[in-house]
A = this chain, B = another copy of it.
Amino acid sequence: MNSYHTIAFDADDTLWVNEPYFRQAEEQFCGLLEDYLSHHRVGQELFKIEMQNLDLYGYGVKAFMLSMIETILEVTEGNAPIQLIEKAIAIGKEQLQKPIELLDDIEEVLAKLSQKYRLIVATKGDLLDQERKLTNSGLSKYFHHVEVMSNKKEANYEKLLRQIDCPAEQFLMIGNSLKSDILPVLNLGGHAIHVPYHTTWVHEEIDHQIEHSNFREVKKIRTILDFL
C-alpha cells in the first residue's frame, strides 16, 4: 500500500473538532424556541429546512445561519420577537470564530506522512471559513494543496483528481464520513480509510456496511502510520 500519488484528508472531524460545535449551536438554537416547540421538534424542523436549502445554499455555517433564521419564521408562524433572529445570528457568528481544536495525534501523523507523500486537504463547506480554519490550525505547512469542494460526490472527486493530475488508483482519501469521504472515492477506483468520529451529522450517515478491497477502517488515526 505504498504507491500513492496523493493522500487527501477530510478536514472537519478528521483534522479538527467540528460536529460537536454544530450540536452545541443547535442545542442553543432549540433553546431559543422552547416556548413554541420542544427541543427535539425544533431540531427536526431545522434539519428539514437545511435539507430544503441544501441545493441553493450548500454546506457551511452561513447556510446554517440562514436556515436557523428560516426555522424561526416557520416555527413561530411569523410571530417571533425579532430578538430571536439577533440571537440566532450571534450563535452563528460565535461558531465562525471558534478556536481550532486538533484531534488526537493528527499533527504527528501529518508530520510523518508529509515526508513520504503529497498530502492535500479535501473538504466541503464554506470557502472562507475552511481556509480560515486551516490557517488557524497551524497545519497548512503539511499540505501541498487545499481543495474546498461545494460537495463530495463522485463528480466532485473526478474534478479534483483531474485538477491534481492523479489517477484514481493512486489516490487515498482519509475521513470520517462514509458517505462523503469513502463511498464516492471507492466508486471511482480510489482507496479510502475511514476514521470514525464519535459524533456524525445525520445527513452524513449511511445505512449499510462497506466491504471493499480498497477500503479499511481504523479506530485511531495514528494506526495508519503502521501501514503507510
Decide yes or no whether A106 CB sits under 8 A from chain B.
no
A131, closest chain B residue (CB):
B150
A6 to chain B, nearest CB (A): 14
A147, closest chain B residue (CB):
B163
CB within 8 A of A96: which of B56, B128, B131?
Answer: B56
The reply to whether B66 and A86 contact each other, CB–CB distance below 8 Å, is: no
The reply to whether B93 and A86 contact each other, CB–CB distance below 8 Å, is: no
Extra 18 A-B pairs, beta carbons < 8 Å, given A66-B92, A126-B127, A128-B151 = A56-B93, A56-B96, A57-B62, A57-B96, A57-B128, A58-B126, A58-B127, A58-B128, A62-B66, A65-B66, A66-B66, A66-B89, A70-B89, A73-B82, A73-B89, A78-B83, A127-B148, A145-B163
Q: How many copies of this chain are found per oligomer?
A: 2
The reply to whether B150 and A128 contact each other, CB–CB distance below 8 Å, is: yes
The reply to whether A69 and B56 contact each other, CB–CB distance below 8 Å, is: no
> Which of A76, A86, A126, A127 has the most C-beta atoms of chain B within 10 angstroms of its own C-beta?
A127
Question: How many Å lie between the Cα of A37 and that of B167 in the bound state?
Answer: 59
Decide yes or no whether A166 CB sits under 8 A from chain B.
no
Which B residues touch A145, using CB under 8 A? 163
Q: Which residues from chain A sit less than 8 Å from chain B, CB to CB?
A: 56-58, 62-63, 65-66, 69-70, 72-73, 76, 78-83, 85-86, 89, 92-93, 96-97, 126-129, 131, 145, 148, 150-151, 163
Which B residues touch A69, using CB under 8 A? 69, 85, 89
11 inter-chain pairs at a CB distance below 8 angstroms, sorted by A residue, are: A62-B66, A65-B66, A69-B85, A76-B82, A78-B82, A78-B86, A82-B82, A82-B85, A127-B127, A127-B148, A128-B151
A86, closest chain B residue (CB):
B73
Question: How many Å lie between the Cα of A86 and that of B97 in the bound state?
Answer: 26
Which B residues touch A76, using CB under 8 A? 82
